[in-house]
Chain A
Amino acid sequence: MYSIPFEHGLILAASLFALGLIGVLTRRNVVFVLMSLEIMLNACGLAFVVVSARWQHADGQIMFLMILTLAAAEVAVGLGLIIQMFRRFKTVDLNVLSQMKG
């Protein structure tokens, strides 16, 4: 049996999360933003699985399953919204969605 310093797994998850965050804040194409969100969700799932491996039980994997389900539903709805947005505004620029200002 081998052992991995699972702290490194968590570091990987944190880094992926931060990278996904950079993508959300930077990109103007709404599809890219959605992709960056997926990266972040994936990073969270990674963290869960790593921790469950540390304690050697399956709860983390089940949480990962839930996250996966959530991501799937969210992507479906999100892409539907993107389609609507494209039909309305004829562009995928995120900045056109700015009518709710004070």
Chain B
Amino acid sequence: MIVLFYLAAAIALISTIAVLFQRNIVHGLIYLILSLLSVAVVFYTFGAPFAAMLEAIVYAGAIMVLFLFVIMMLNLGLRSREQENSWLSNGIWIAPVIMSGILLIQLLNVIRGQSQDAVIVEVGVREVGLMLFGPYVLAVEIASILLLAGLIGAYHLAKK
């Protein structure tokens, strides 16, 4: 399991880096799906199968498919590939990398010193369900309203 964790973590990192360098949008999306699926595996190794399933179904499934639909609707074509080539010059990586690097260092600084090992107990669907419709039922309702708002917004914005 521990090995699975490290493996899945490595794949997630590599595929995310790959997303950044892609010129072709669809290829980037595929790499992103890969990244998301490996993160799902990481969830599973941490004893959260429900989260893993949700990640796979909703994130990698619905959201990425939504992306793909829109990209195909936009019908950008080959033109976009040349565009991307021209836009991604070498110089523009410097500042973002530096800033993100600093941020990463700060975050790692905060995380440091928490090195207890976590004994992994599987927290299954049952516990999640009990919590969801117990203390967090209000959150569920609000989430549903949020989705409704998103739906209406998206419908209106995409209208001709």
A residues apposed to B, CB below 8 Å: 1-12, 14-23, 25-29, 31-32, 34-36, 38-39, 42, 45-46, 49-50, 52-54, 56-62, 64-66, 68-77, 79-84, 86-87, 92-93
Cα-based distance from A12 to B90 in the complex (angstroms): 26
**Is A76's CB under 8 angstroms from B66's CB?**
yes
State the main secondary structure of chain B at its contact with A: helix
**Is B39's CB under 8 angstroms from A42's CB?**
yes
Q: Return chain A residues, CB-CB under 8 Å to B112.
A: 7
Knowing A65-B54, A73-B146, say if A22 contacts B96 (CB, 8 Å).
yes
**Is A9's CB under 8 angstroms from B157's CB?**
no
**Is A56's CB under 8 angstroms from B132's CB?**
no
B residues apposed to A, CB below 8 Å: 1-2, 5-6, 9, 12-13, 16-17, 19-20, 22, 25, 28-29, 32, 35-36, 39, 42-43, 45-48, 50-51, 54-55, 58-59, 62-63, 66-67, 70-71, 73-74, 76, 80, 83-84, 87-88, 92-93, 95-97, 99-101, 103-104, 107-108, 111-112, 114-121, 123, 127-128, 130-132, 136, 139, 143, 146-147, 149-151, 153-158, 160
In this complex, the member of B45, B73, B107, B160 whose beta carbon has the largest number of chain A beta carbons within 10 angstroms is B107
Q: Return chain A residues, CB-CB under 8 Å to B62.
A: 72
Which chain A residue shows the least CB distance to B92? A26
* Shortest distance between the CB of A4 and any CB in chain B (Å): 6
Knowing A22-B96, A25-B95, A26-B96, say if A64 contacts B74 (CB, 8 Å).
no
Knowing A31-B25, A53-B48, say if A3 contacts B158 (CB, 8 Å).
no
Q: Which of B19, B25, B153, B158 contacts A83 (CB 8 A)?
A: B158
Knowing A12-B42, A42-B39, say if A66 contacts B143 (CB, 8 Å).
yes
* Shortest distance between the CB of A20 and any CB in chain B (Å): 7
**Is A1's CB under 8 angstroms from B119's CB?**
yes
**Is A23's CB under 8 angstroms from B19's CB?**
yes
Knowing A10-B111, A61-B50, A73-B146, say if A53 contacts B67 (CB, 8 Å).
no
State the main secondary structure of chain A at its contact with B: helix
- Minimum-distance CB pairs A-B, first 6: A73-B150, A80-B157, A25-B96, A76-B154, A6-B118, A3-B117
**Is A57's CB under 8 angstroms from B123's CB?**
yes
Cα-based distance from A5 to B118 in the complex (angstroms): 6
Which chain B residue shows the least CB distance to A1? B119
Q: Return chain A residues, CB-CB under 8 Å to B111.
A: 7, 10-11, 14
